[in-house]
């Protein structure tokens, strides 16, 4: 099953037949992306997406002259995808600023100790995958975690809060069904009422969902496992 932030490698025919919305100045960069064989990134589905298609993006690096990010949106056929992978595992993240190395290694080690799988998406992951310069002075590290129980969720949030003191951590917690919540928003909401709502992003919609509903989905998943 495809999910937001998945990495998708396209066939040559897929590249030829894809429908792209490309700013004129981004056209050469898109051609280079294709030539280098880098993956597209799964994004939220367009409202008018045709059956058998998926919505993808090519997030290009910031322009050197002004730091502006150019984003290329596309639609490709499902059968154009020759390889799919989840976001880059934290342990495989390379090419990061030197002052991040030790705290990232500590985060990865503690996550492994707790049995937590952490993926990386966004600028940090794209810099590691392509070798291009994505990170700026104010860049965040976007992390993706999929806890399997409420206990694992609270462990993950505590770990993120601790390491956010030394790293610019951002990202999402993904609940069953692909429902993703910004971890900082979720962490704050866990301190309040279970009836409070948080912004949830899914593949085809965005909605406000109660905390207790999200927690119940984790409990149900834990029982099934």
pLDDT tens by residue, the chain, 225 residues = 899 999 999 999 999 999 999 988 899 999 999 999 999 999 999 999 999 999 999 999 998 888 888 889 999 999 999 999 999 999 999 999 999 999 999 999 999 999 999 999 999 999 999 999 999 989 999 999 999 999 999 999 999 999 999 999 999 999 999 999 999 999 999 988 878 999 999 999 999 999 999 999 999 877 776
pLDDT score for 180: 98
pLDDT score for 66: 83
* Helix, strand, coil % in the chain, rounded to nearest 5: 40, 25, 35
* Distance separating alpha carbons of residues 198 and 181, to the nearest angstrom: 7
Q: Which of 142, 154, 170, 212 is catalytic?
A: 142
Q: Is 66 labeled as catalytic in the residue annotation?
A: no
* Distance separating alpha carbons of residues 17 and 56, to the nearest angstrom: 13
Q: What are the boundaries of each domain within the chain?
A: 7-85, 88-224
Q: Is 154 labeled as catalytic in the residue annotation?
A: no
Task: For helices 150-163 and 211-224, give the axis angle rounded to 10 degrees.
Answer: 120
Q: Find residue 55's DSSP bridge partners.
A: 75
> Model-level pTM?
0.94
Q: Which of 48, 140, 154, 212 is catalytic?
A: 140
pLDDT score for 69: 87
Nearest to 74 by CA among 137, 144, 10: 10
Nearest to 103 by CA among 123, 129, 124: 124
């Amino acid at each position: 099953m495809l999910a937001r932030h998945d990495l998708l490698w396209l066939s040559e025919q897929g590249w030829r037949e894809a429908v792209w919305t490309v700013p004129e100045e981004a056209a050469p960069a898109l051609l280079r992306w294709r030539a280098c064989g880098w993956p597209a990134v799964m994004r939220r589905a367009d409202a008018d997406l045709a059956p058998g298609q998926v919505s993808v993006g090519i997030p290009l690096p910031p322009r050197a002259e002004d730091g502006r990010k150019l984003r290329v949106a596309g639609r490709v056929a499902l059968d154009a995808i020759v390889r799919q992978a989840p976001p880059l595992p934290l342990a495989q993240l390379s090419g990061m600023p030197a002052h991040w190395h030790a705290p990232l290694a500590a985060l990865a080690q503690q996550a492994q100790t707790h049995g937590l799988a952490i993926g990386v998406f966004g600028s940090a992951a794209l810099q590691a995958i392509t070798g291009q310069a994505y990170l700026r002075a104010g860049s965040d590290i976007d992390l993706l975690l999929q806890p399997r129980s409420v206990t694992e969720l609270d462990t993950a949030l505590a770990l993120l809060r601790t390491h956010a003191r030394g790293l610019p951590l951002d990202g999402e917690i993904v609940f069953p069904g692909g429902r993703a919540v910004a971890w900082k928003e979720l962490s704050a909401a866990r301190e309040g009422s279970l009836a409070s709502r948080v912004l949830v992003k899914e593949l085809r919609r965005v909605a406000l969902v109660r905390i207790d509903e999200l927690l119940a989905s984790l409990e149900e998943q834990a029982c099934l496992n």
